[in-house]
Amino acid sequence: MQIEKPRKIIFIGSDSRLLKKWAAANITEVISSISFLDNLLPRFVPDLIVFENVRDVDIAEIRRNELLVFVPVLVAADSFESFSNLAGIAGFPRVLLCNTCVALSDAFYSELKKIFSSKKNILPARTGAIVKYAVLFINKNISKALTREMIASQLGVAEDYLSRIFKKELGISLWNYVNEFRLFTARNLLVKTGMTVSEVSRECGIADAAYFSRLYSSFYGHSPLAERH
């Protein structure tokens, strides 16, 4: 059985959940801002750079460094609802945008490992931009009864095409992504607010509270009400 090679990952900012999950099998460094990146190079040339929040000038600076031209960049955050810089970063190749709750999944990490081993190419920038705008649309409209057709129509592409490139980019189907982000949003609302289960269900775009409870229980292993005990 082949032992997987540990990968070098730089976290810029502080996404402790991803860091905690990936640090066990990889070599990680954490810096507070991109200004400290030069201090790590060339002794630590990463296989992946992870941001929680990023500006287009940050990506441009990374790509100007010949050691980092082809290094994938992951922008991972709990929510992109207020993210306003997508147009600035969408044109850069080898940049992924993914909610942290999905990035923590085994399916997503499996896609990263394929990228590390050069068995998978990230989509071209123009195609990848469509996936990024889909992620942003999901974040900004999670309270609506989202469908794949609705998302594709908003982006001006065919539903089958969007589903195909979304899965290719992030390793998870478009519909599973929507549901995982819905359930993550629901969990936050259950823990941080006094909303009823029915109110949380509607806030996450699911009109049927009974269906929501079944979906929640299947995913988390306990009922929505048990989240508060």
What burial letters (b/e) apply to 59-69, b meaning 16+ CB within 10 Å?
Answer: beebbeeeebe
At residue 47, what is the residue type?
A: D
Task: Examine the domain organization and report whether 199 and 160 are in the same domain.
Answer: no
Q: Is the pLDDT of residue 82 over 60?
A: yes
The pTM assigned to this predicted structure is: 0.92
Task: Examine the domain organization and report whether 126 and 207 are in the same domain.
Answer: no
Give per-residue pLDDT as tens, 181-195.
999 999 999 999 999
Instruction: Look at residue 3 in the predicted model and tell me its pLDDT.
Output: 62
Instruction: Look at residue 191 in the predicted model and tell me its pLDDT.
Output: 94
- Nearby residues of 131 by Cβ (< 8 Å), 6 or more positions away: 97, 123, 165, 166, 169, 170
Task: Examine the domain organization and report whether 172 and 203 are in the same domain.
Answer: no
Identify the CA nearest to 56 among candidates 77, 34, 41: 34
- Please state the φ and ψ torsions of residue 83, each to the nearest 5 degrees: -70, 125
Q: What is the dihedral of CA 6, 7, 11, 15, to 10 degrees?
A: -50
Number of domains in the chain: 2
Task: Examine the domain organization and report whether 190 and 112 are in the same domain.
Answer: no
2 domain-assigned? no
Average pLDDT over residues 56-63: 94
Q: Cβ(38)–Cβ(62) under 8 Å?
A: no
Instruction: Look at residue 53 in the predicted model and tell me its pLDDT.
Output: 87
Task: Examine the domain organization and report whether 85 and 189 are in the same domain.
Answer: no
How much of the chain exceeds pLDDT 70, in percent?
Answer: 97
Give per-residue pLDDT as tens, 87-97.
889 889 899 99
Q: Is the pLDDT of residue 168 over 90?
A: yes
Task: Examine the domain organization and report whether 202 and 126 are in the same domain.
Answer: no
Instruction: Look at residue 220 in the predicted model and tell me its pLDDT.
Output: 93
Q: Which pLDDT band, with edges at 50, 70 and 90, does 121 fall under?
A: confident
Instruction: Look at residue 186 in the predicted model and tell me its pLDDT.
Output: 96
Q: Which residues pair with 176 in a beta bridge?
A: none
Distance, in Å, from the CA atom of 132 to the CA atom of 90, rounded to the nearest integer, reads 7
220 domain-assigned? yes
Task: Examine the domain organization and report whether 194 and 120 are in the same domain.
Answer: no
Task: Examine the domain organization and report whether 13 and 65 are in the same domain.
Answer: yes
Q: In which domain, by residue range, is 83 found? A: 8-178
Task: Examine the domain organization and report whether 190 and 144 are in the same domain.
Answer: no
